[in-house]
Chain A
Amino acid sequence: MVDLEKLKTAARETVSRDDVKYLIGWRQGTYGFRVSPHFVKEPEEAEKLIFSPLCTNNLATYLVLTERLPLPRGEQPDSRKVALMVKGCDSRAVVQQLIEQGIKRESVLIIGCPCEGVIDLKKVEEKFPHLPGPAQARWSNGNIVFHLPDGDKEVPKGEVLAAKCLSCRYPNPVMTDLMLWEEVQTRGNDEYDDITELEAKSPQERWLFWEDKFSSCIRCYSCRNVCPMCYCEDCVLDRLNPAWVFRSNNISENTAFHLARAFHLAGRCIECGECERVCPVGIPLMKLNRKLAKEVKEKYEYIPGLDPESKPLQSSYRPDDKEDFIL
């Protein structure tokens, strides 16, 4: 059960520590069921923290999105820890960043929030449109209760949960420094049912499907920027000399971008679904990511983001790796 007081107390204590720079959690957004990441630097700012079915953002992105600006001569970088509130899926991103040595273990303090599933905002806004004022929601006996101006509305989870949550295998953070409340029961069993329909299509049909999706891409790169696993300091997409992917928006360049994005996530994507959530034109990116995740699981028996001591997929060659798919 979510215990907000415990969460706020833990946050206050955490940011009071000398070795903590700030804590990142969630707070109520400016309107409707929106939520905003909340950076807590002073103990009193912890009051605004929330944890509810609206807390979709995977905050692990901010561990690697930090801007490292050149420092004035003689000044030392701030090496204090960042405290991070994580759901189960988010914690896998932190673990994968540790596996890849993208972050250092001593630089992060992981505060675990066992999670009963977060909403798909599109589904919720369809049900309850036009809420100019901030509105909240909470879990309640397998349902989600939405607090609306004209009273509470209880909705079965299945109708409003994000797709990733319906087949979630890791609702509890897989690694924490502090677990805020008791663990929740794992929901669902992931058989990758959501991609079987696409897998059954012919290559021609699949190409038509993706051609349609990629041609609506506006190349805003929100999927790349929100991804906790996209943290190259020098991204191939930003290069101009040589330009590996042209800036032109056309089906050829857009496809090159999406292939590069997807392949760089093979064996690394922890399926938090953030890329698909933020896409302003609704490209079903998780279908690509999950196809790759399924292949990686079946061919190499590898699941990323679980064991910080393990090796990344690409550097974990075993002589008995399957080779039946190599031409």
Chain B
Amino acid sequence: MTARGSRFAGLGRHLVLGAGAVLMLLPLLWAVRISFLPAEDVFSPQFHLLPSRWIGFENYARALTASPLPRFLLNGVGVCLAIIVCQLLVAIPCAYVLAKARVRGQWLLWLAVLVGLVIPPAALALPLFIMAAQAGLIDTYAGLILPWTISPLGIFLLRQAFSRVPDEIIEAARLDGLGEWEILVRLLVPAVAPAIGALITISLVAHWNDLLWPSVVVTSASKATPPFGVMLFQVQEIGSDYGPLLAGAIMIAAPLLALFILTQRRFLDGMAWLGSK
């Protein structure tokens, strides 16, 4: 009786969870559906759950040929890579000093990081645009990358992680004769690897999907990142042809999805690690 009871309870649990998952995935599934619909089905008065005729990957082919989508993807990879590398190069030493050094005026720096953390990026778009314009960075890769090289969130996350490394480990390393840079690179960075992983993930998602800043600073399609490129392409080429549009959207989301599925365990570990701190 209890075995059957628990089986029913298990079934119930899975039904609830499954329904939740489907609900979450519904917009994505809808996008996938539309990306396979021929143009006449999208606006036809009758509702077709499945395409009335199979057009295969025609919408995908159109998305790829009607716009420089591969170029957008390449731009996205390059810009995100540059941003993340710069963020780590800045955040790791900065966080180390904030966590472990005893420097006069350190609290002021920490305060600046916290202030930076609470200001929404959108609020900075205008001043950043003016600065970029004056520096002649409009419609350049540098204009896309430079404003995001210092990440208050990154400094904050890594500072918290470094604070958790016992001082005794650093002292032992000093006794062993290691220099400060070597201590940082060889001992502390591996010790906070989960936090670095989490930072990379957060940063990648934020900048890959960023629409606002590219739309401010980029004017030509050759420098566009994927979401902004797709938007350009919607307005200029396709108009309201939703099939190819959603095919494009799915293709720009796919790399992140694939990355997430491949690194799912590490990603969740990193997030759990952040949550447990």
Whether chain B is bound by chain A comes out as no
